Amino acid sequence: MTGNDSERVQLEGIYFDGRSSRDRTARLTVQGDQVTLQADADGVSGGTEARWQLSQVTIDPSLPGIRRVLKFPDRTRFETRDDAAIRAIEQRTRRNRALGGVRKLEGSWGLTFAALGLMAAFVWGFIAFGLPAIARGAAAATPGRVLTTFDRETVDLLDKPPYLGPSKLSAARQAELQREFRQVMGWAGGAYSYRLLLRDGEPKDDGNDSFGGFPLGANAFALPGGTVVMTDQLVALARNDRELLGVLAHESGHVTHRHGLAGVYQALGLTLLTTVVTGDLVSAGTFAAAAPAALLQRGYSRAAETQADEVAGAFMLAKYGTTKPLRDILARLENKDAGADEKSAEGKGADEKGVQSSSRVEDLLQSHPGTANRIEHLRALEQAAK
């Protein structure tokens, strides 16, 4: 008797109904998964036919000289001496059990994928919503001493070519700008170590005349502790100092709202997450060193820019009764930047004035394509103040 599942196995034996000790001659047929029991009638009971699934049938282990016993869920049983047939049925049951195991495994794979999907959704949610919230919280809670350290280390990193060089403005002009910056400082408030660093945003590398692909150009940006860097190129771009003060007030808004720090924490949070997921220990080693770059390359969210513009707008309105100077310089930066994009597409680094305008340090220049909206918003602030 071989065990093809579709093959019919039939065997003779004895049926016990479990209620009396009387036994009846019976036939058991197994076909596929279906077990059919037919017991003959005796003087007391009529003929019986019952059907079960093979999986419902318990087969007792074989013992030498003892009839094989099959038990059914209703506590009836079938006994037979046809050991070979029982063994064929047992094989079939085992195979079914093994298949059942595979089915269970498939079930658990489904569960695994579902769990992975859930995990992916969670990670995505964390990155999209949790991380920014945590980053903002951490930024707000960071003590001033840490901010000052952060500023110092970032300036150390930036204060050499190809990033920044000493300002080429005259000492008198620098003193004038410093004096004006103190107005912004006094207005911005908060316990920050405000200072204005005037720098050349396009320092030449020794000898090779290259900017190293990372020029700041006409730019201004704030570090978390209150350090504001403004380049000679931005000073040159401005038509008057009101424009520059508008920019500096905007930067002070990034400081007081701690935008830069939140961005850094968010970027480093992702780095940390990547490090954990990939087990990349090299990344862990460069973790601390990544902070200044994260600050400078990320730029700010649109929401952060709007918030900083509102700070600047309030400053301009209080001091000059108009936001126009800031709107003007934003528009000029935007146009300049658009020109630079065309040039860089042609593979040229600098425009005719020798001003390298494609910038990877993005604060003001990052504003495009949002510049039109920002200018409109600043105009609306002025309208609302009237």
In the bound state, the residue with its beta carbon closest to Zn ion is: 363
User: Parallel, antiparallel, or unpaired for β 165-166 and 77-80?
Assistant: unpaired
CB closer to Zn ion, 76 vs 367: 367
CB closer to Zn ion, 243 vs 305: 305
Q: What share of the chain is helix, strand, coil (3-state, %, to 5)?
A: 55, 15, 30
CB closer to Zn ion, 11 vs 381: 381
Residue type, 111: L
CB closer to Zn ion, 200 vs 305: 305
Please report how close the Cβ of residue 254 comes to Zn ion at its closest, in angstroms: 5
Please report how close the Cβ of residue 250 comes to Zn ion at its closest, in angstroms: 6
CA nearest neighbour of 167 among 177, 157, 182: 177
CB closer to Zn ion, 200 vs 363: 363
Please report how close the Cβ of residue 351 comes to Zn ion at its closest, in angstroms: 23
CB closer to Zn ion, 80 vs 367: 367
Query: What Cα–Cα distance (Å) separates residue 321 from each residue in 32, 36, 184, 316, 332?
Result: 91, 97, 15, 6, 21
CB closer to Zn ion, 142 vs 367: 367
Interface residues toward Zn ion, by CB under 5 A: 305, 308, 363
What is the number of other CB atoms lying within 10 angstroms of the CB of residue 95?
Answer: 12
How is the beta sheet containing 227-231 ordered, strand by strand? Answer: 165-166, 195-200, 227-231, 220-222
Please report how close the Cβ of residue 237 comes to Zn ion at its closest, in angstroms: 16
What is the number of other CB atoms lying within 10 angstroms of the CB of residue 381?
Answer: 18
- Non-local (6+) Cβ contacts of 366 within 8 A are 299, 300, 305
Q: What is the Cα–Cα distance from 91 to 305, expressed in whole angstroms?
A: 73
CB closer to Zn ion, 264 vs 308: 308
Please report how close the Cβ of residue 205 comes to Zn ion at its closest, in angstroms: 28
Please report how close the Cβ of residue 102 comes to Zn ion at its closest, in angstroms: 60
Q: Which helix (H) or strand (E) holds 293?
A: helix 290-298
Q: What is the Cα–Cα distance from 214 to 115, expressed in whole angstroms?
A: 43
Q: Cis (ω within 30 of 0) for the bond into 166?
A: no
Q: What is the Cα–Cα distance from 59 to 87, expressed in whole angstroms?
A: 10
Please report how close the Cβ of residue 246 comes to Zn ion at its closest, in angstroms: 11
Please report how close the Cβ of residue 210 comes to Zn ion at its closest, in angstroms: 28
Roughly what angle, to the nearest 10 degrees, separates helices 290-298 and 144-158? 80
